């Protein structure tokens, strides 16, 4: 319950006044939409693959590039920001007429060698070029691809996104020769024209169609499926439309319904993707389709980012969650009580790297292995989650910011930002926290015991118990990745 409320509140805060211009579901509409989606999922069940904890659904295999994304080893460099098209769903600022240097995760890489050092340092297995329209910087891309191949050989899979406006045979030959493995076309930018695809098949090893699932284009896309298969398209990737400051107005104009989820996706886009998949499997089209939903990106791409960089900043007394956040556990108390706890650790010969007393001695950070020495009838437990944050320069306010050297001329910095903190007050709730998130015991078993053992003397205790249960449930947001498609509301 609390998660829904927080999602709705977060969405409202993020969007501000525009929230009231946008179409959202009522409770009963949401219930109906969940039911409709379940029926669609049931109708394709057993005929599609479910990858990455049910976050990716579709018939056939995933592209090797998409596999690197799910496995957390994909880097995407935005080589420029200018474009030849003007798609209504584009999440980039189309008023921007000034180009930008190549950017990956907020870091500028205008030197291809620095980018390859970055790929090497963090052991990426997939690299893609996006934009804007990347082929506006065709020569630059060739330089980057050649450099990657020259230094990393075939250990890395390389692909390129394009709308196809600037493609020609010479460019394709040169991209192939440089070492490009896959080219992905957004055919929705060119009214589903397949000419550029025809030209690419047989030149580039894999030719993929990657488009948003646009509800208004359902019929035209449906008709394209067989032709795509015949021409030799290797994969169809369908994205879920989502809103940001640059495209929400166009989505409102199209009367789309928005969902209270991270990235504010469009309901009808998800339904369209699932209907296309159903059509493809019902009619045995044989084209591998990957529905890349908004929640998949939020869960897996961000997890990959966090896991990649948290190892540089996580302290020994901190833990990491399944979804890649750094988890810090803290006891806040008077210095005298903090010192008593430390004494207990010392008496038990605990490794002194597993705890840390902050400057004013009012807070003790402890590794989860030491929780067994703490009497939680006397202490509350603070749970604090951090995410790593990359930057080009050192954040002077973050004393834990670390420098990572890419080469003699280039370094990057990893800092941290606090994402959530909660105080757990009750001993049985703290016990349940440990069972759920440290020992990873079965959710049902943990809550069964929690409800059985919670000290209930008065009716007010019931409310308290439910609040604490909700709080534990909400911590799953930071602890676990999340299975399947997101609940619709």
Note the residues at the interface with other proteins (CB under 8 A). Answer: 1, 4, 31, 34, 443-444, 447-448, 451-452, 456-459, 461-462, 466, 487
Nearest distance, CB of residue 402 and other proteins, angstroms: 39
Nearest distance, CB of residue 322 and other proteins, angstroms: 18
Rounded distance between C-alpha atoms, residue 415 and residue 402, angstroms: 6
Nearest distance, CB of residue 398 and other proteins, angstroms: 37
Nearer to other proteins, 316 or 448 (CB): 448
For residue 265, count CB atoms less than 10 angstroms from its CB and return exposed for 0-12, middle for 13-18, buried for 19 or more: buried
Q: What is the DSSP letter of 436?
A: I
Distances (CA, A) of 60 to 76, 82, 229, 445, 484: 24, 34, 12, 36, 18
Sheet containing 206-212: order of strands: 49-51, 56-58, 289-292, 235-239, 206-212, 182-185, 157-162, 126-130, 74-78, 103-104, 107-108
Nearer to other proteins, 150 or 455 (CB): 455
Nearer to other proteins, 35 or 346 (CB): 35
Nearest distance, CB of residue 52 and other proteins, angstroms: 21
Nearest distance, CB of residue 319 and other proteins, angstroms: 25
Nearer to other proteins, 30 or 326 (CB): 30
Rounded distance between C-alpha atoms, residue 264 and residue 248, angstroms: 10
Residue with tokens 């020609």: 168
Nearer to other proteins, 173 or 453 (CB): 453
Rounded distance between C-alpha atoms, residue 12 and residue 416, angstroms: 25
Nearer to other proteins, 81 or 465 (CB): 465
Q: Which tokens is 337 given?
A: 């009580």
For residue 198, count CB atoms less than 10 angstroms from its CB and return exposed for 0-12, middle for 13-18, buried for 19 or more: middle
List, as own/partner pairs, every contact residues 463-471 make where C-beta atoms lie below 8 angstroms and the sequence separation is at least 24, other chains included. 464/426, 468/424, 468/425, 468/426, 468/429, 470/1, 470/2, 471/2, 471/422, 471/424, 471/429
Q: β-pairing, 289-292 with 235-239?
A: parallel
- Residue (of 83, 130, 22, 92) closest to 247 by Cα position: 92
Nearer to other proteins, 188 or 426 (CB): 426
Q: Which tokens is 170 given?
A: 């010479």
Nearest distance, CB of residue 445 and other proteins, angstroms: 9
Nearer to other proteins, 398 or 470 (CB): 470
Nearest distance, CB of residue 325 and other proteins, angstroms: 22
Q: Which tokens is 44 given?
A: 């394709």
Nearest distance, CB of residue 452 and other proteins, angstroms: 5
Nearer to other proteins, 34 or 301 (CB): 34
Widest pairwise Cα distance in the chain: 79
Nearest distance, CB of residue 469 and other proteins, angstroms: 8
Nearest distance, CB of residue 7 and other proteins, angstroms: 12
Nearer to other proteins, 356 or 451 (CB): 451
For residue 321, count CB atoms less than 10 angstroms from its CB and return exposed for 0-12, middle for 13-18, buried for 19 or more: buried
């Amino acid at each position: 319950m609390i998660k829904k409320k927080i999602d709705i509140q977060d969405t409202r805060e993020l969007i501000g006044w525009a929230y009231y211009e946008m179409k959202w579901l009522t409770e009963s509409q949401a219930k109906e939409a969940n039911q409709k989606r379940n029926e669609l999922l049931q109708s394709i069940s057993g005929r599609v693959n479910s990858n990455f904890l049910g976050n990716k659904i579709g018939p056939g295999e995933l592209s090797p590039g998409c596999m690197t994304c799910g496995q957390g080893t994909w880097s995407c460099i935005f080589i420029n920001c200018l474009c030849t098209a003007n798609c209504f769903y584009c999440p980039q600022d189309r008023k921007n007429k000034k180009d930008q240097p190549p950017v990956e995760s907020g870091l500028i890489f205008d030197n291809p060698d620095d980018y390859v050092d970055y790929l090497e340092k963090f052991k990426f297995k997939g690299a893609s070029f996006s934009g804007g329209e990347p082929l506006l910087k065709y020569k630059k891309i060739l330089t980057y691809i050649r450099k990657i191949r020259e230094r990393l050989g075939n250990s890395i899979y390389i692909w390129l996104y394009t709308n196809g406006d600037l493609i020609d045979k010479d460019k394709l030959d040169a991209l192939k020769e440089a070492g490009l493995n896959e080219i992905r076309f957004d055919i929705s930018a060119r009214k589903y024209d397949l000419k550029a695809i025809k030209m690419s098949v047989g030149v580039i090893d894999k030719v993929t169609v990657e488009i948003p699932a646009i509800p208004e284009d359902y019929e035209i896309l449906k008709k394209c499926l067989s032709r795509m298969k015949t021409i030799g398209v290797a994969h169809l990737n369908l994205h879920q439309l989502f809103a940001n400051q640059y495209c929400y107005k166009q989505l409102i104009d199209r009367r789309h319904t928005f969902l209270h989820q991270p990235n504010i996706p469009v309901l009808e886009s998800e339904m369209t993707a699932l209907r296309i998949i159903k059509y493809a499997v019902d009619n045995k089209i044989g084209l591998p389709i990957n529905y890349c939903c908004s929640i998949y990106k939020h869960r897996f791409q961000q997890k990959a980012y966090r896991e990649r960089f948290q190892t540089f900043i996580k302290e020994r007394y901190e833990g990491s969650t399944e979804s890649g956040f750094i988890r810090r556990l803290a006891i806040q108390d008077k210095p005298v009580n903090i010192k008593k706890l430390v004494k207990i650790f010392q008496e038990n010969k605990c490794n002194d790297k597993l705890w840390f007393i902050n400057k004013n001695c009012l807070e003790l950070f402890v590794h989860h292995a030491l929780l067994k020495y703490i009497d939680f009838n006397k202490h509350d437990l603070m749970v604090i989650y951090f995410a790593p944050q990359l930057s080009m320069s050192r954040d002077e306010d973050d004393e834990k910011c670390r420098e990572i050297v890419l080469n003699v001329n280039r370094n990057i910095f990893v800092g941290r930002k606090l994402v959530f903190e909660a105080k757990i007050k009750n001993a049985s709730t703290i016990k349940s926290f440990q069972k759920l998130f440290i020992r990873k015991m079965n959710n049902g078993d943990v809550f069964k015991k929690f409800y059985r053992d919670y000290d209930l003397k008065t009716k007010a205790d019931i409310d308290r118990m439910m609040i604490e249960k909700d709080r534990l449930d909400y911590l799953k947001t930071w602890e676990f990745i999340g299975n399947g498609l997101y609940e619709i509301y």
